[in-house]
Amino acid sequence: MIKTAVVILNWNGEAMLRQFLPSVIASSCEEGTVVYVADNASTDGSCAVVEKEFPSVHLIRLDKNYGFAEGYNRALQQVEAEYVVLLNSDVEVTEGWLRDMVAYMDTHPDTAACQPKILSYRHRNMFEYAGASGGFMDRYGYPFCRGRVFDVVEKDRGQYDEVIPVFWATGAALMIRQEVYQKVGGLDGRFFAHMEEIDLCWRLRSQGFQLVCIPSSKVYHVGGATLKKENPRKTFLNFRNNLLMLYKNLPEEELASVMRVRTFLDYCAALVWLLKGDWANVKAVCEARKEFHRLRPQFAADRRQNLANTVLNTIPERWGFSLIWQAKIKGRNTYSALFKIFH
């Protein structure tokens, strides 16, 4: 069996493959490591680029665009490896980036998944929005990171270089045990994109598995957070999927109260966009809530299963405060500031 499989999901990313695959191949040469590109039925020249320019890379062709979540589920069914790394196509890796993560996983069998430190490709001394140095969540489902709280992204000064348990590890560069991935059901394909890795990590943590960030391993991610104006489609998916994730995973005693507060906070977000004249995002929030209520019955069985599998009801990395109150009202908009107050 392969030790580590690096799997890059691609859809019409011909230019990204040409730009970033060389660093992945050059820096993933440890014994037992194989690089895969799983193609979501691209209509550009992606498959030809892989076959002709990167013959050492294994190509998995999917029959249609399944999105991030289901695309990975289907691709990983065709991969046999102890560890799989879900790697975005817009990530530049560094020499030896896999070494410390593999070593940690080898010596910590209770750890199901880990991530490297994620830095910005464009501003290389800054953390990257999607994952930074490990992810956490507040009581009401708002994710944040060591290095990023809402839109405040910190400079990497080595302040978050300690290996610590995290609530979620970013899907931009997620190393996970293949056996555990399959055991807990993988990513939820119904999410299509956004929040699916946090949902997966919540299931892992509630079943007693550990997740960590290994900051000695680092990668540079282009990401999409540099866009100042939120894309309404992204807003819709983030709000809808976040609500579905909460419904699937919240302990029974918290469900009603958290959902009531979220209703209020979601409409507050819509009001902020309304005051800015951003009708597209107002509509996206309202449509997301409507879609959540329509889909909720389809997730009832998942909720029952998740609660039945739960062995850790109170997860330390899911902090019991409101991030909006602490960051937006109190001005505690860095992980360090939050940590001083609550630990």
Q: Quick: pLDDT tens for 225-253.
A: 434 457 999 999 999 999 999 999 999 99
Q: What is the pTM assigned to this prediction? A: 0.95
Average pLDDT for residues 199-219, to the nearest whole number? 98
pLDDT tens by residue, 15-29: 999 999 999 999 998
pLDDT at site 168:
98
Q: Are 156 and 131 in contact (CB under 8 A)?
A: no
pLDDT tens by residue, 269-303: 999 999 999 999 999 999 999 999 999 999 999 99
Which 8-state DSSP code applies to residue 230?
P
57-63: long-range contacts (C-beta < 8 A, 24 or more apart)?
A: 57/21, 57/25, 58/34, 60/7, 60/36, 62/38
pLDDT at site 1:
78
Give which of 238, 29, 231 is closest to 143, Cα–Cα.
Answer: 238
Residue 223's pLDDT band (cuts 50, 70, 90): confident
Average pLDDT for residues 161-166, to the nearest whole number? 98
3-state secondary structure (DSSP) of residue 186: coil
- At 327, the amino acid letter reads A
What mean pLDDT, rounded, does the chain reach?
A: 95
Strand 2-10 and strand 81-87: the pairing is: parallel
Q: Write the CA distances from 55 to 17, 50, 75, 92, 142, integer angstroms.
A: 13, 7, 19, 19, 42
Burial of 67 by CB count in 10 Å (0-12 exposed, 13-18 middle, 19+ buried)?
Answer: buried
Max alpha carbon distance in the chain (Å)? 56
Which are the contacts of 212, defined by CB distance < 8 A and separation ≥ 6? 104, 108, 111, 114, 134, 163, 164, 165, 166, 169
pLDDT tens by residue, 311-328: 998 999 999 999 999 999
pLDDT at site 213:
98
Q: Write the CA distances from 228 to 90, 171, 341, integer angstroms.
A: 19, 22, 30
Q: How many CA atoms lie within 13 A of 143 on its CB side?
A: 28
pLDDT at site 289:
98
pLDDT tens by residue, 78-134: 999 999 999 999 999 999 999 999 999 999 999 999 999 999 999 999 999 999 999
Average pLDDT for residues 149-174, to the nearest whole number? 97
pLDDT at site 229:
53
